[in-house]
Structure 1
Amino acid sequence: MKRALVLYAHPCEESFAASVHQTVVTRLRANDWAVDDCNLYAEGFSPVLSAEERRGYHDIGPNTLPVQDYVERIRRARALVMVFPVWNFGYPAILKGFFDRVFVPGVSFGMVDGKVQGMLHNIRRVAAVTTYGGTRTRATLAGDPPRRIVMRALRKTVHPGAGFRYLALYDMNRATERDRAAHLNRVYREMDNF
């Protein structure tokens, strides 16, 4: 079965990100994906890694207990789609906290012969759908951390042959209605071919 976990990270229902999120979910479902729509804000996900969790971080098995539901959800997925804005050249805190708390040893990576190896081999497709307030040039000059983390670090945790898409609308602060519509159309087409 084609099962996609959609991680959505924006607090405002009226945001452009909400329109992007709705487009992603609608198009995936229209193309026979079983969508696990994980709206981190609506679900009240706590991004805070507690002292207790940090102390038990490497204790494989018990380290997943505080976030067991999310671990099971990501292990069931064949695809991961993240919908989020880029704030201060990074992920919203709630999404960063998801990675800190859920992508723990034994879930997203493990040690094999002294080397870190990805463990989410069930994930065969990944898409990041995002907006930046600044231009692509500005993001590039800053190193574009969100793009690099998705395209490099996240790539190391999933199936080695997984397909990756990074769909970004840069310069959102000055985006016109036409720019936003073009981005939604691109997302629509990409999710139809996902």
Structure 2
Amino acid sequence: MSGETVATIHWRALDRDGEDKCRLARLDQGWMLVGHARFRDATGWAALDYVIRVGADWCTTSADITGDYGGDAVALRLARGEDGWTVNEALRPDLAGAEDVDLAFTPATNLMPLNRVPEVGRLETTSAWLRFPGPQVTPLTQAYTRERGGLVRYEAQETEFETHLSVDTHGFVTRYPGLWEADV
């Protein structure tokens, strides 16, 4: 990985066996996240590595996900270009307007919208949401609202999921109730 490392984080899963290690690097024209998620779910063991490129505006430009999920090889590339989003080079008009990727298997991808949330206020955004088994990539409408005590209220419209996230100074989630907790 090139660039200057700004922060690293290690999460442990609370809802299953698993962990994720992630590094945030500053690049000349933006940011890069590099992570390694290892977990076991109902499908079996997964070893997924991800590299996410982010513009200076904290919007995702591309994500590469490789590894193994339940015994199957994974090799995905999500990219946002002038014509919209592609998944493994296939144009995906249903993802029009998405500003980020949300990798359902890690809290790392909350970083981008969390860095765009105003100090006081709310951010509504759409992500290209990748989840397994599948893999499936669909739009996910999200809202982030800063609250007292350093908490951020998170809402996902399509799933009607809501929670309060604890966040560090870099924008990494440190506590995702019931799902992830950072080793600090």
TM-score in terms of structure 2 length: 0.35
Greater C-alpha radius of gyration: 1
Q: Which has the higher contact order (CA 8 A, sep 6+)?
A: 1
Higher helix share: 1
